[in-house]
Amino acid sequence: MNILDIITLKEVYKKSNKELLEYTETDTSPTLFKEEFEENKRKIVQSLDKIKDLGIITYWDEEYPDLLKNINDPPVILYYFGDPTLLKNKTVSIVGTRKATDYGKSICIEIAKTLSRYTVVSGMAYGIDSIAQRNAKKTIAVLGNGVDIIYPKSNESLYNKIKEEGLIISEYFPGTRATKYTFPYRNRIIAALSEKTIVIEAAKKSGSLITARYALDYGREVLAVPGDITRLNSYGTNYLIYSGATPIISLQHLKELFGITNLEQESSSENPEEMEVKEKILKLINEGKNNLDSLCETLKEDVSTILSTIMQLEIDGKLSQENGTYFTIN
């Protein structure tokens, strides 16, 4: 069977990944009316031809990642936009709540930047997923809908950025709309593509915990950021730690867990733009604009960028805060 036969059997005749693998391994195929099958195949070709720059990887291609191949339900087809060589990179998934707190946002940014030599895998969902992917050096977005559909629509700029600089993949045929079932099923791919999975803020019933469960089933390490026990978004991560996940207790600890040396981090982290934002923040605080609202209003920067910079200044020992008021340390 060729690639179009496989796609037709999957999309029109609803054959499972397992069945398609069995057909190819045994060199058999289901009994179908040939004329009907060929007509359905022509319709598949017509649909695919409408999508510019679409790529397709099958289970049997060299580009298909070994990490994904070795699970119990690997997708036989991956549709993609972008750079498929990222599938062979060192990978880590970063997932979490859609309703991230300022704490979760700033921690997510710092983790993504600290792991700059890894390709970050996530689901491009609103919240932690998209924050991680906006701040990753390289990233793979695994969608719960067709690769040609931007969801959520508010992430259009992120989608276009990843399409241009990273990789967007989906096992769903182009044009497929998301449902409440496609996202949890998609999460197995996020977990399978990653050497480790990091969870940052997750409620008791969170899709991120499904990803973590898949990761554990695949024998991968799960790490979690501890949270305030009074917050609903901390229950999931704290429960993961209680159940045996590795807690991330500091950024230095994170570097140790991933074998990152300080020298290596320094060489890949700060750029002139980041240094300029740091200098502006310190200057404004000294001038009396010493809370988050006034800093955001003056700098006109994204709040996540400002929070990330403030956190780094605190780590560097140049800044401290008390009750929401920042002050510099000489």
* Residue ranges per structural domain of the chain: 1-50, 84-267, 270-328
Write down the pLDDT at residue 318: 84
Show the tokens assigned to 216.
Answer: 């554990």
Q: Sorting pLDDT into bands at 50, 70 and 90, what band is 269? A: low
Helices 292-299, 272-286: crossing angle, 10 deg rounding: 120
**Token code pair at residue 82:** 């972008």
Q: Which band of pLDDT confidence, cut at 50, 70 and 90, is reported for residue 114?
A: very high
Q: What is the chain's mean pLDDT, rounded? A: 91
Averaged pLDDT for residues 97-114: 92
What region does 270 belong to: left with phi over 0, alpha with psi -120 to 50, or beta? beta
Span 144-156, average pLDDT:
95
Least confident of 145-154, 245-254, 285-294, 307-316: 307-316
| 294 vs 276: CA distance, rounded Å | 18
CA 214, 92, 206, 254 torsion-angle sign: positive
| Residues 6+ away with beta carbon under 8 Å from 322 | none
292-299 vs 303-315: helix axis angle to the nearest 10?
120
Percent of the chain beyond pLDDT 90?
69
Q: What is the arithmetic mean of pLDDT over 263-276?
A: 61
Residue 262: per-residue pLDDT: 62
pLDDT in tens, 207-229: 999 999 999 999 999 999 999 89
Whole-prediction pTM: 0.81
- H-state helical runs in 228-299: 235-242, 251-257, 262-268, 272-286, 292-299
* 33 has a pLDDT exceeding 90: no
Q: What is the pLDDT of residue 304?
A: 67
Q: Is the pLDDT of residue 276 over 90?
A: no
Who wins on pLDDT, 15 or 295? 15
* Residue 267 confidence (pLDDT) above 50: no
Considering only the top CATH level, what class is 84-267?
alpha beta
Give me the mean pLDDT over the 41-50 stretch. Answer: 95
Q: What is the mean pLDDT of residues 257-269?
A: 66
Average pLDDT on 42-57 reads 96
Mean pLDDT of 180-189: 95
Tell me what pLDDT residue 264 has.
52
| CATH code for the part of the protein at 270-328 | 1.10.10.10
